[in-house]
Amino acid sequence: MARSRTFRLSLSLAGVILFFAIWEALPRLGIVKPMLLPAPSDIPVSFWQELKSGAWGEAVLQSLRHYVSGLVLGSALGVALGVATGMSRTLEDLTNWIVRLLRPIPGLAWVPFAIIWFGVSPTAANFIIIVGVFWINYFTALSAVQAVDRDMIELAEAFGHRSPFAKLVKVILPASVQPIMAGLRTGLGQAWMAVVAAELFGVAGLGQRMMQASSLLATDIVVVYMITMAVLYGVVDAAFVALRDRLLAWKA
């Protein structure tokens, strides 16, 4: 088992090295123009320039503000409405066609309304992120609640837990918390994609900085911020997994 794990790790490392070697070779050998695809060895210099100028730190802070606020609000609203709809057949029937009409609309389609309603502002960016995260958590929570064993709910009622709140706390949330947490984790990545979309129209942050760099054909700067988002997502995801494992330790 240990030998197999070591072998798989070696293959993963070899794949990463091969990826960067091919990437480095493409512009160095003139197969692709460096202006269109910068070599990875050029990225640290570009990153250091962005860091020294203060642009990198400011862009990261702005995007984190949008990310955290949009993620928290979108996730909370999605989970709350998903749980409520899953518990109430009346509410599900009431919202059924509203959801069917709104769900297929992509987050980018809301950008014009976000600008009209809130202007080019952080509030507009938050709105786009909330829309992007909401549906993932809504459907995950709805499915999780509807999948709860009805026998468990009837058993809780037999023991006197008849109110909706009692059934929610005693049965529904404990039974559905794991898939709900999975939805929350999916939303972490979706929120970063929404951040870029939300900032492309001029709100300060990583997306705006990427657009500014791309308009000047500074693709090395674009790659710097692409890597920045990947690293930030990795940190956030790792922290969430650690928190999830601690919260769900009782289910192990």
All domains of the chain in start order, with CATH: 50-251 (1.10.3720.10)
CA distances from 201 to 36, 186, 196, 225, 239 (A): 23, 25, 9, 17, 30
Task: Give the count of beta carbons closer than 10 Å to the beta carbon of residue 61.
Answer: 11
Q: What is the pLDDT of residue 12?
A: 87
Mean pLDDT, range 96-119, rounded to an integer: 88
Termini Cα distance of the chain: 23
CA–CA distance, 241 with 159 (Å, rounded to integer): 35
Contact (CB, 8 A) for 93 and 147: no
What is the pTM (predicted TM-score) of this model? 0.85
pLDDT of residue 84: 92
Q: Give CA angle at 235 (105, 60), nearest 5°.
A: 70
Give start and end residues of each alpha helix (H) in the chain: 2-28, 43-53, 55-87, 89-102, 111-118, 122-146, 150-158, 164-167, 173-199, 206-215, 219-247
Maximum average pLDDT range among 96-110, 153-167, 227-241: 227-241
Find out whether 101 and 144 touch, Cβ atoms under 8 Å. no
pLDDT tens by residue, 199-242:
878 888 998 999 889 888 899 999 999 999 999 999 999 999 99
DSSP state, residue 41: G
| Residue 44 CB neighbours (<10 A) | 11
